[in-house]
Amino acid sequence: MTDEAAAVEVPLHSRVRRGMKRPANWAQLVRFLAVGASGVAVNLVIFWICVHPLDGNYRVAAVAAFVVALANNFWWNRHWTFGAGDGHVAFQAARFLTISLVAFGVNLLALELFVQTTSMSKVIAQAIAIAVATPVNFLGNKLWSFAR
């Protein structure tokens, strides 16, 4: 049996359990969360600039802020979190965008669920929805966007 065949036969729960025991994976998650926090800050600054000094439409500002924050997060995750700067940038960017959109979809579904079924504030619901979507985002980028 080849090494590839042996790796395929390992059940997912065993691979996850093994991965959770590796300190390097936890350090990578902390870097990913730090990049995410910087992305939120970048998003809010760009949004504020577009809405206030530039007197722009808040919907256009939201799109501009998302795009700039996405670029910020891609660069930092590619070079710092996952150390994948030697990979093909366009290929990684397309995958990163795909994972970001999937995670955003999970976020929106969770947000809608929390807003419609609980009495919690929308800001708290959004914070929880972000937490719900974060594992999808992290694992998708670790295992697909920036996989070696």
Domain ranges, ordered by start, for the chain: 3-145
Amino acid at the residue 77? N
Helix, strand, coil shares, percent, the chain, to 5: 80, 0, 20
Which stretches of the chain drop beneath a pLDDT of 70?
Answer: 1-8, 12-13, 15
**pTM, full prediction:** 0.75
pLDDT, tens only, 18-48:
877 888 999 999 999 999 999 989 988 998 8
